[in-house]
A and B are shown apart, each in its own frame.
Chain A
Amino acid sequence: MSALLSVTDAHVAYGKVEAVRSVSLEVGANEIVTIVGANGAGKTTLLSAIMGILPLKGRVTFAGQDLARLDIEDRVAMGLGLVPEHRELFVTMNVEDNLELGAFRIERSKAKASIERVYALFPRLKERRKQLAGTLSGGEQQMLAMGRALMGEPKLLMLDEPSLGLAPIIVADIFRIVTELRASGVSVLLVEQNAQAALKIADQAYVMELGEFVLNGKASDIAANERVAASYLGFQHEGESAI
């Protein structure tokens, strides 16, 4: 079976500076794939380019279709979702409106059912449904950003640093929900600095350094790799109980 998302020989540049060089990756159906790497490795840049926010040289196909000519909105309609690092919520609108807009491209009747599903995943959002998005805590904003993306019924959800700056207990919750998503048939492409937690739940993993993939394979193999352990997991061993 062919992959859901397939990126072949992708280059992304800011002017003359190439932030991503010759990168290839695949995400299959019902799979969690993670890209781990240090700050500035080009992970966010790659996700933005796959979404169509930044121009990408190379080939990207999603569900068998070439994305080259499609803009962000078309990719959303095809079932590609991105929860960006800065979440990009509608801060002056309430939780419910944010979620409703997440289903902008979905039939109204379906959206009603989706919102209940999202509330079931994130009961906190239901409690706060009339609250303005800008007044939520960091963890709740992350939940709202994920919920909003799920309202669009994505086949593949790309998450950019979902755990950044959040309390460990909320991080654990978010990672649990990511695995639940896979169980419900949504593939996830997860970009994380918290490599240990990401590798624990992922099926496949890529290690990114200075704009290139230096290693890839099964997540469990990557986690066991000495070099990875030294560069990305080492400093976290002491705080293992955090997650």
Chain B
Amino acid sequence: MNTTIMLFLVQDGITNGAIYALLGLALVLVFAVTRVILIPQGEFVTYGALTYASLAAGQMPGTAKLALALGIGAFAFDLFVARKALHGRLILRSLITNIVLPAIVLALTVYFAAQKPPVAVCIALSLVIVAMIGLYLYRIAFQPLAHTSVLVLLIASVGVHLALQGLGLLFFGAEGQRGPAVLSGAFTAGALRFTGQSLTVYGITIAFIVGLWLFFGLTLYGKALRATAVNRLGARLVGIRTTLSGQIAFLLASVIGALSGIMIVPITTLYYDSGFLIGLKGFVAAIIGGLVSYPLTAVAALVVGLVEAFSSFYASNYKEVIVFMLLIPVLLLRSLAAPAVEEEKD
């Protein structure tokens, strides 16, 4: 291997690693706040990517309709819970967030899809659509189970993943899609060639990590989210609703997922089921971070990206195997280093 190839692999690894880092951070965030191991994170990636690609190709993505359908479901849940004491204001708020909003977005999507909108519009619409799906999924599938064990939440999570994957096949077909680059063009620095797209990936990843850091460190809602993760009862006793924290966590996770998808789809062809494997690599990073540490997760994600890049060069058939094998020594070390963790009792 010469230096050029090595540098090329490193660059490739870092680009992928940056995406895994975002996904890993989202997984840690959702787990810390809601105790849900978010298997459908990968579907947020594919939904974001393929919604973006469909819109850019002038097709109507089915995800916009799904958002409205899920919104109606979420509204029904809200009505059912509030049936004994119907507060006009609460119902109105639920109606606006769960039905009016996705209806408006659906109308906008129908309008724009017909006329091949500019890239910025495609990105904005895709993000909003997937964000709404994430929010309503939390309301329908996880909020009613919020008090149950991690295992029950995991089973629900697997169920949501399978359902979304099936719907993905329905919406986007079995064919792969590619989207237009967010930033076209390229420049060379020495032996390295930087494409606009890979720079976008770095830029957005760094911006998001800094943004999350500021959000958690400085804003009241960010701190409230951390507080919920640290001590659920304590958070409730100061008036922080666990459902609010869960909603914010799912919103962030779905936006991060969709954004990752939009960044990948110009580089790689994505299929309706590609997201699972991508999400799983973010999961490897999150596990290395113990599902609690953000910095460790980010570093682990870069390692995962690099290992993947180099193993695809040396033994491309075993690329995935090698990446997932990273887990074995990590889990072994963790189980030796840390005493068994009892499941939190609520």
Contacts and interface: CB of A to CB of B under 8 A. Distances in A.
Q: Which of B85, B227, B230, B238 has the most chain A CB atoms closer than 10 A to its own CB?
A: B238
Contact of A88 (B224, B231, B241): B231
Interface size range of chain B in the complex: 10 to 19
Interface string A79-117: 001101001111111000100111111001000000000
B227 A88 contact: no
Given A73-B240, A101-B238, A104-B220, A90 B233 contact: no
B79 to A, nearest CB: 16
Given A88-B231, A89-B231, A72 B223 contact: no
A105 B239 contact: yes
Q: Which of A72, A102, A149 has the most chain B CB atoms closer than 10 A to its own CB?
A: A72
B338 interface: no
Interface string B167-185: 0000000000000000000
Contacts of B227: 90, 93, 101
A92 B32 CA distance: 13
A77 to B, nearest CB: 6
B140 to A, nearest CB: 20
A16 interface: no
Nearest to A53: B233
A46 interface: no
Contacts of B231: 88-91
Interface string B225-253: 01100110111111111000000000000
Contact of A102 (B226, B233, B238): B238
B298 to A, nearest CB: 18
A93 B233 CA distance: 15
B89 interface: no
A100 B223 CA distance: 9
Contacts of B239: 73, 76-77, 104-105, 152
B234 A89 contact: yes
Given A73-B239, A76-B238, A90 B220 contact: no
A93 B237 contact: no
A103 B238 CA distance: 7
A93 B84 contact: no
Interface in A138-157: 148-149, 151-152
A91 B230 contact: yes
Given A69-B84, A100-B220, A101-B224, A90 B230 contact: yes
A73 B239 CA distance: 4
Contacts of A87: 234
Contacts of B233: 53, 84, 88
Q: Which of A77, A87, A91, A104 has the most chain B CB atoms closer than 10 A to its own CB?
A: A104
8 contacts: A77-B239, A81-B237, A82-B237, A88-B231, A88-B237, A93-B230, A101-B227, A104-B239
Given A51-B237, A84-B237, 9 more contacts: A73-B239, A76-B236, A76-B237, A92-B230, A93-B230, A97-B223, A100-B220, A101-B223, A104-B240
Closest 10 CB pairs of A and B: A88-B234, A76-B239, A105-B239, A72-B236, A90-B230, A90-B227, A73-B239, A104-B239, A88-B233, A104-B238
Interface of A: 51, 53, 69, 72-73, 76-77, 81-82, 84, 87-93, 97, 100-105, 108, 148-149, 151-152
